[in-house]
Amino acid sequence: MLITVLKKYKITPQKSLGQNFLNNPEAVNKLIAFIDPSDKDVFIEIGSGLGTLTFPLARKVKKVFAFETDSRLIKVSEELKQDLKNIEFINQDILGLDLEEFIAGHLQPGEKARVAGNLPYYISTLILFQLLKIKSYVKDITVMLQKELAMRIVANPNTRDYGSLTVFFQVFTDIKIGFEVRRDSFYPEPEVDSIIIKIIPLSKPRIDLSDYDLFLKLVKTSFAHRRKTLKNNLKNLDEIKKDPQLIHSLFSSSGIDPGARAEALSIFEFKKLYDALMEIR
Write out the residues near ligand SAM by the rule CB under 6 A.
17-22, 46-49, 52-53, 67-70, 73, 93-95, 118, 120, 123
Torsions phi, psi for 143 (to 5 deg): -135, 150
Cα dihedral angle (56, 62, 67, 71), rounded to 10 degrees?
70
The runs of H, that is alpha helices, within the chain are 2-8, 25-35, 54-58, 71-80, 99-106, 124-133, 147-153, 164-172, 212-222, 230-234, 238-242, 246-254, 267-280
Which residue's CB is nearer to ligand SAM, number 6 or number 240?
6
Which residue's CB is nearer to ligand SAM, number 18 or number 205?
18
Torsions phi, psi for 13 (to 5 deg): -60, 140
Which residue's CB is nearer to ligand SAM, number 21 or number 102?
21
CB of 152 to ligand SAM, least distance (A): 19
CB of 40 to ligand SAM, least distance (A): 23
Q: Please tell me the distance from the alpha carbon of residue 60 to that of residue 190, in angstroms, as a whole number.
A: 29
Torsions phi, psi for 177 (to 5 deg): -85, 130
CB of 75 to ligand SAM, least distance (A): 13
CB of 167 to ligand SAM, least distance (A): 25
Q: Please tell me the distance from the alpha carbon of residue 263 to that of residue 239, in angstroms, as a whole number.
A: 22
CB of 182 to ligand SAM, least distance (A): 14
Which residue's CB is nearer to ligand SAM, number 71 or number 156?
71
Q: Please tell me the distance from the alpha carbon of residue 267 to that of residue 252, in angstroms, as a whole number.
A: 18
CB of 1 to ligand SAM, least distance (A): 12
CB of 65 to ligand SAM, least distance (A): 12
Which residue's CB is nearer to ligand SAM, number 19 or number 166?
19
Which residue's CB is nearer to ligand SAM, number 69 or number 254?
69
Sign of CA dihedral 218, 96, 90, 27: negative
* C-alpha atoms less than 13 angstroms from C-alpha of 179 in its C-beta half-sphere: 13
Residue nearest to ligand SAM (CB): 47
Q: Please tell me the distance from the alpha carbon of residue 198 to that of residue 177, in angstroms, as a whole number.
A: 6
Which residue's CB is nearer to ligand SAM, number 104 or number 126?
126
